[in-house]
Amino acid sequence: MDILLVLIALVVSMWASLNVKSTFKKYSKVYSSRGYTADQVARKILDENGLYTVGIEHVRGDLSDHYDPRDNVVRLSDTVYGQTSVAAIGVAAHECGHAIQHAEDYAPIKVRTAIIPVTQIGSNLAFPLVIIGIMLGSSNILTTIGIWLYVAVVAFQLVTLPVEFNASSRALRTLEGCAFLDYDENKKAKKVLTAAALTYVAALFSAIVTLIRLILMSKRRN
């Protein structure tokens, strides 16, 4: 049963990763008819929302784009910064969506930020605690702690979904409303953001599978 669960989670994760990469690659070859670069679009979106102090930086990497609330900066990767493709513009707008979420104190992103420390502990210690608890064999305390720590990981992945889907929705509405892309280009940008969102669905599925494995390990001990 454990092996089957691991294989299913692995296949789902690999498919989601390959899907987002192939979708981005496909639409990175489709260029905006209006000629805006992704960083120009990002600057305009931020300014339209009064976020004049949020910076935009070029960061190395492929699809390493993110918004950093600590430095208050949107970082765009090599395949996005300065590019005029609908894929690049869609990704840049999505990251601006996260900046707007933080500025508006969007509830799910506040919850996600709050549980990050517990999530980091859970992802590192859950398995060791469960295994040690099973080896000791005299108490359920360690296995129970390990399982509950990993529940926090699942909760983090769960609350990540509305954060990411909301950022994409904001991005698509802005791109359409501000006419950065035409109708057909917006549809293609949506495909890129949908593919990206599916990676978070896959991450949640993988986390749930891992939690089930921990519970099954604990049950077998008993």
CA distances to 31, 37, 86, 178 from 79, rounded to whole Å, are 13, 11, 12, 23
The arrangement of strands across the sheet holding 55-58 comes to: 55-58, 73-76, 66-68
Q: What is the spatial distance between Cα 167 and Cα 144, in angstroms, rounded to a whole number?
A: 35
Among candidate residues 107, 143, 148, 109, the one with its CA nearest the CA of residue 128: 143
Q: Positive or negative CA dihedral for 100, 95, 180, 185?
A: negative
Helix or strand run (H / E) with residue 66? strand 66-68
48 among known catalytic residues: no
Give, as one character, the DSSP assignment of residue 31.
Answer: B
How is residue 182 written in tokens? 């035409």
Asked if residue 62 lies in contact with residue 79, where contact means CB atoms within 8 angstroms, the answer is yes
Q: What is the spatial distance between Cα 140 and Cα 145, in angstroms, rounded to a whole number?
A: 9
Please tell me which residue in 95, 104, 176, 185 is annotated as part of the active site: 95
How is residue 101 written in tokens? 């979420």
Among candidate residues 182, 151, 158, 145, the one with its CA nearest the CA of residue 35: 182
- 161: helix, coil or strand? helix
Q: Which residues are catalytic?
A: 95
